Amino acid sequence: MELFTPREIVEELDKYIIGQAEAKRMVAVALRNRYRRSRLDDKTREEITPKNIIMKGPTGVGKTEIARRLAKLVKAPFVKVEATKFTEVGYVGRDVESMVRDLVEAAIRLVKEERYEEVKPRATQAAIDKLVKVILPIRKELSPDTPEAQLVESVSEDLRDGKLDELQVEIEIAEQQKPIQMNQNGQGAEINLGDIFKQMGGARAKKKRKMHVKDAMRILILEESDKLIDSDGVTAEALRRAEQEGIIFINEIDKIAGSGVGSSRGGPDVSREGVQRDILPIVEGCAVSTKYGSIRTDFILFIAAGAFHISEVKDLIPELQGRFPVVVTLDSLSKEDFVRILTEPSNALLKLYTSLLKVDGVELKFTKEAIERIAELASFENTNSENIGARRLHSLIEKLLSEVSFDAHGEPFELVVDRAYVDAHLAAEYRDMDLKRYII
């Protein structure tokens, strides 16, 4: 786990998420506590469990993005699941333990990517050696008098420089075995026959394929990397990371809460409570079996989120509430927030659209007044219709630039988007705004 102070974590999150200072501080402290725990002796470490977090607030204000950026920041295994996708044990659907299995898969991918990067130079050289053997006969025909050693060196150099990327070659590659999905009582399990035969000592089937050199290089590097890394070591490290550093983000947890005061505890509320009770042991800490081995969930950090429009946090069963001691409320976005969202983050919407249209030669520029007008419309629409947070900006910008996006075809020109342009292209929203001023 990379070392960041809580202040540094917040500063990194500020690059992508506007506002929500309290939520950022809470997750930063939770993350730093993981580092602090890792520095303790084994006996004390076992006594300290993560302080799970519930983030409540309207959609589109940054709940998911905070959790996702947090995991990416420290390179921790991370999965996002929807609470509404799970069903109570005994019903057909996804069981809650699948979220832990998904986390282990994410950890496996993360560790494999790191190991691949470590062995990449050796794997690349091995892939080049294989491709040289395929291309060398062609070069010999073209230059029969050139010494073989010189031809080998020339082909190797051309492969490294990408000069042969578009050359088509026929290579022999290992056939990919597709896992078979098996279901028993609604519980899904994958069986990979290729892995089973490999463990029994059988070789994977090979097949010849024609492809461009750049594609062949990518496949061969992957094959050679698999040979160079220790798969048992990858599995062991992945299980450790999933247990000690994993983050599971449970979205829409409010949808499995009761209906609030006056709830009859009948109908769908019974099923919702069943899902909560199934999630409870996972959050409390238990052992879950995966195809890579058993994993404990005691030290996984759980971050739950929901709008809580109809229900409240107190409508969750008391036992589950107790496992989420930190509750933080995220604010609705104001006009000023929208202005900052459009311009400040590293992945600001206007920066992304400017880059996209630049591909077709459009030099896009937004005036300050235009940005404020877009923010004003977004704020108004969220206040007077469904509050969808920053996602409202996507809708407005897409409509605003739909005409130029359709007409752009590579001919360079400059487009200055000012307030008049915004009003002209978002006329419907503008008229609705004006009319609603007079509606009592």
Radius of gyration of the chain measured on its C-alpha atoms:
27
Nearest to 27 by CA among 40, 8, 45: 8
**For the chain, what's the residue count?**
440
Q: What is the pLDDT of residues 349-364, one digit of tens each?
A: 899 999 999 998 899 9
What pLDDT does residue 338 have? 92
Element (H, E) at 189: strand 187-191
Residue 109 to residue 352: CA distance in whole angstroms:
28
Q: 146 or 94, which is more confident?
A: 146
Residue 14 to residue 82: CA distance in whole angstroms:
26
Residue 264: is its pLDDT beyond 50?
no
Element (H, E) at 82: strand 78-82
Q: What is 6-105+236-329's CATH number?
A: 3.40.50.300
Residue 337 to residue 18: CA distance in whole angstroms:
7
DSSP 387-437: --TTHHHHHHHHHHTHHHHHH-SS--EEEEE-HHHHHHHTHHHHHHHHHHT
Element (H, E) at 297: none
3-state secondary structure of 224: helix
What pLDDT does residue 60 have? 86
> Where do the domains of the chain lie?
6-105+236-329, 115-235, 335-429
Q: What is the pLDDT of residues 151-162, one digit of tens each?
A: 888 889 988 888
Residue 27 region, left (φ>0) first, then alpha (ψ -120 to 50), else beta? alpha
Residue 302: is its pLDDT beyond 90?
yes
Residue 64 to residue 305: CA distance in whole angstroms:
8
Q: What is the pLDDT of residues 194-235, one digit of tens each?
A: 555 555 555 566 788 888 888 989 999 999 999 999 999 999
Q: What is the pLDDT of residues 35-61, one digit of tens each?
A: 888 888 988 988 888 889 999 988 888
Question: pTM value?
Answer: 0.79
CATH among 1.25.40.10, 1.10.8.60, 3.30.70.330, 3.30.1360.120 for 335-429: 1.10.8.60
Element (H, E) at 198: helix 193-199
**How many angstroms from the chain centroid is the CA of residue 434?**
40
Average pLDDT, the chain: 84
Q: 């082909």: which residue's tokens?
A: 155
